[in-house]
Structure formats: C-alpha cells, structure tokens
Amino acid sequence: MPVISEPSEFNEDELYVDLRAALGLDLFLKCEGFNFAGSVKLKAAREMVDAAERDGILRPGSVLVESSSGNLGVALSVLAASRGYRFLCVTDSRCNLATIRLMEALGSRVHVIDDPSADGGFLGARIAYVRALCAADDRYVWLNQYSNRGNWRAHYRTTAPAIARRFPDLDVLFVGAGTTGTLMGCARWFWQWRRPVRIVAVDSVGSVTFGGPPGPRMIPGLGTSVRPELLDRSYVDDVVLVEEPDTLQVCRRLAARGFLFGGSTGTVVSGAHQWLSRQSRRDLTAVAIAPDLGERYLDTVYRAGWPEGTVESAVAEVMAHAG
C-alpha cells in the first residue's frame, strides 16, 4: 500500500471488471474512479496543472477557472486545495447537485449557467463566460481542457500503456467522447506503437462531436454542443451513438449486480454492446474505459422516474443551491 503526501499521487490503474457475469457481455471494464477525485479526470487535471506550473502560467495569487460538467471540476478542486490555489468551476444546470456540493466542500466556488447560447448550447455559454472573466481579470488562469494538449497526453502516458500491458492481444478499445482527451490520448498511443487495435468512440445522441445534429442531453459527461478542438477523427475507427434511455438501463442493470457506475460508464458499455453485437467474430478481446463511479448520480441516473417528471425539480434544486 503506497504512502502519499498529496491526493493526486494515488490512482488505482489496474482494476478491471469482467462483464460476462454481470451482463453476459465479453467486455473488460477499466475502472478509473478509484482516486481522490473519483474519476479519470484526475489524470488530465494533474497533467495540465503541472504543465501550467512549469511554464510559469500558474503563479502565487492565480485563480484557476475551468468550464466543466462535473468531473474535471472535482479533479481541479482536489488539486487546487492540495496546492494552495483558488478555483472557480463554471458548470451548467445539468451538473449533479452532489458534484457541486463536493467541489464546494473542497473550497472551490461554483458558477452555474442556466441559459444555453443559441449556437453553442450550455457548453458555448460556459466557455463564453470563462473567456469574458479572463479578459476582465488577469488573475484568472483558464487551462482550457477542450484544447489543452495535456488533456490527451495524460492518457498517452498512463491509460493506454496500462491497458496494453494488461491486454497485449487487445482487439478493440471503447472510449467515451467528451472533450476527447481520453480518446485521443489512447488512440494516438496505439497508433504510435503500431498496435492493431480498433478504436471505437462512444458518444451520446444529441452531441455534435462527430457531426450529428444537436439535441437535448440530460446526463453530464459525454457529448458536446461544440465540437472539441482536440478531436482528430483520423485516429478513430468507428463511432457509436447511444440514446440516454439505453444509458440508464445499463447503469441500473449493473447496479442490480452490485456495480454502481456513473452515467458516462453506462453510455460506454451500451455503445460497446451495440458494436460487439454486430460483429461476426465472437472471440474479440475488448476493453472499455469506465470514467467514474455512481454515487454522484443518485439523484439523477439512479432516481426512480428520472428524468421524466422530475428533471425540472432537479434543475431547480441545483439552481437554488448555487444561487
């Protein structure tokens, strides 16, 4: 057992769940939620903050600011608290209330956007708010996870080689697409080392990342209303789009077997199931990345009746707390 002095020094990187028993699915699920930020985003947060410190962008008195649907905000809250920075997370009304409370417990401030922009949705409105804030006050430092190369480099250095060590004969890797940092880091690593691994991106219906029409999305994490700057489509072999009811079904089926995962994981597993069910070959070695665990989704994904009939009250609860 390691002995650590700051929270970002610990991350369990070797845990996989064999989903044959739980779902009857030939898929290994790489669990990325076992660290002090509770998600895969701690890797990217640490890489980006370390680089900003090395480059002299982060200095005493700097205030970190970032647009996040939740998990990166928590990861940056952990790092800011441990390294003595102030942090402002700009999120929107789809962010889980538990996530907002967690960031505040770590000493961060949270600003909730409740009006989407006409052409960029909630994400566009969040980014516009961050840009305006940085233009008005030079104390604010925006790492910009949507274009920061440290976002994908973190997974190039850690996530992809860890998977390759555990599964040297890997055939297909399923990665959820949000900022596409995890996706691009893993895809670049397997391409660089000439491993014959098929990279399948999993996205939500209503996301514009891969050119689909924009639509309403209630589950935070995957999907965007503004195409990510980090995305290089040439590294991606296939794309699977998942409806949110399918995400909920998978999350609840896993919970019924004792595995409580986040909404993004339900989306990735659902997409993997869709893709694998269409293949004629049945002996594929397949891995999917589970970004987080499910405790932060108890009032949304795991609440009976959500989102039908309860989403308005859930949003109102978030706004009342943030206001």
Which value, to the nearest 10 degrees, does the dihedral of the CA atoms of residues 72, 67, 155, 227 take? Answer: 140
* Type of residue numbered 295: E
Closest to 178 (Cα-Cα) out of 150, 210, 134: 210
Query: 153-186: per-residue pLDDT in tens?
Result: 999 999 999 999 999 999 999 999 999 999 999 9
Residue 194 Cα distances to 105, 164, 188, 198, angstroms: 44, 12, 10, 11
Judge whether residue 292 has pLDDT over 70: yes
- Three-state secondary structure of 153-165: HHHHHCHHHHHHH
- Calculate helix-pair angle for 181-192, 149-157, nearest 10 degrees: 50
Judge whether residue 309 has pLDDT over 80: no
Intra-chain end-to-end CA distance of the chain, in Å: 42
Query: What confidence score (pLDDT) does residue 1 get?
Result: 67
Q: Which domains does the chain have, with CATH numbers?
A: 7-35+149-297 (3.40.50.1100), 41-148 (3.40.50.1100)
Tell me the two tokens of residue 154. Answer: 């973190």
- Three-state secondary structure of 184-206: HHHHHHHHHCCCCCEEEEEEECC
* Type of residue numbered 309: G
As a whole number of angstroms, the distance between CA 202 and CA 213 comes to: 16
Q: Specify the residue for token string 């999305």.
A: 217
Provide the sign of the torsion angle of the four alpha carbons 309, 312, 317, 318, taken in this order.
positive
As a whole number of angstroms, the distance between CA 251 and CA 318 comes to: 22
Query: What confidence score (pLDDT) does residue 69 get?
Result: 84
Judge whether residue 288 has pLDDT over 90: yes
Judge whether residue 311 has pLDDT over 90: no
Kindly report the number of other CB atoms within 10 A of residue 47's CB atom.
24
Query: What confidence score (pLDDT) does residue 243 get?
Result: 95
Judge whether residue 248 has pLDDT over 70: yes
* Type of residue numbered 100: I
What is this structure's pTM? 0.91
Q: How confident is the model at residue 314 (pLDDT cuts 50, 70, 90)?
A: very low
